[in-house]
Amino acid sequence: DIQLTQSPSSLSASVGDRVTITCRATQTISNYLNWYQQKPGKAPKLLIYAASSLQGGVPSRFSGSGSGTEFTLAINSLQPEDFATYYCQHSYSMPLTFGGGTKVEIK
Amino acid sequence: QITLKESGPTLVKPTQTLTLTCTFSGFSLTTSGVGVGWIRQPPGKALEWLALIYWDDDKRYSPRLKSRLTITKDASKNQVVLSMTNMDPVDTGTYYCAHRATFFYGSGSSAGFDFWGQGALVTVSS
């Protein structure tokens, strides 16, 4: 199975900050990497697919990059509604797996 | 507009079988490339993929839980059913169903869960 490791597991940031979250895969997954945002008590929301493609309706301050085994989710100018937990997930092969999550908290 | 909703028991006893139904609208499970997946989340923990069923009735399971899981579909009713046997308190959590979409870009394609149900909280306790 392909394991995904996210770092950091949590971070504190202020409104307006630029935040980056890393996701590392235990083997190459090309660009088959998705990012989700989850707020407390809510279902996850797809932000980025294929490592860098923005899902419709997602603000352009979100961006994804990477290929192979290392991927990054960046949030430019963090907004109050961005405080949430973020998960990466690969779709390279079965079984599908999710990363352990990164909680973005208000400083 | 795609919507999904999970339904089933909120409380099950250890060793019992959990049966959850995902009722969806806005898409057809007979359309090529479409799938419905189940993902769960223990309280305060990360997401865990469980199973996926495709439009052509291909079924995939988490290897760790494969012996306990069964996923089926009734395309005419727009429903997908997940069964999990021998429930244990560690299986407590929120169970989500989600629409699996295929994304085409440039010369490639990718897949992801683009629409999710609200989740069903299942507690396993005697």
* B50-106 confidence digits (pLDDT tens): 999 999 999 999 999 999 999 999 989 999 999 999 999 999 999 999 999 999 877
Q: Taking CB atoms and an 8 Å limit, are A50 and B103 in contact across chains?
A: yes
With a cut of 70, list the residues of chain A below it in pLDDT.
Answer: none
Alpha carbon distance B84, B71 (integer Å): 9
Q: Is the pLDDT of residue B13 over 90?
A: yes
**What average pLDDT does the structure give for chain B?**
96
Alpha carbon distance A56, B112 (integer Å): 13
Cβ neighbors of B7 (< 8 A, separation 6 or more) are: B20, B21, B22, B23, B120
Q: What's the rounded mean pLDDT across residues B20-47?
A: 96
E-strand stretches of B8-107: 11-12, 18-25, 35-41, 48-54, 59-61, 69-74, 79-84, 93-105
Work out whether the CA dihedral A36, A37, A38, A43 comes out positive or negative: negative
Q: Could you tell me which chain B residue has the CA closest to the CA of A58?
A: B114
Q: Does B35 touch chain A (CB under 8 A)?
A: no
pLDDT at B19: 98
pLDDT at A84: 97
Distance from CA of A100 to the nearest CA of B (A): 5
Contacts of A96 in chain B (CB under 8 A): 37, 49, 52
Distance from CA of A16 to the nearest CA of B (A): 27
Contacts of B58 in chain A (CB under 8 A): none
The proportion of chain B whose per-residue pLDDT surpasses 90, expressed as a percent, equals: 91
Q: Is the pLDDT of residue B119 over 90?
A: yes
Cβ neighbour number for residue A66 with a 10 Å cutoff: 19
pLDDT at B20: 98
3 state DSSP class of A69 = coil
Q: Is the pLDDT of residue B107 over 80?
A: no
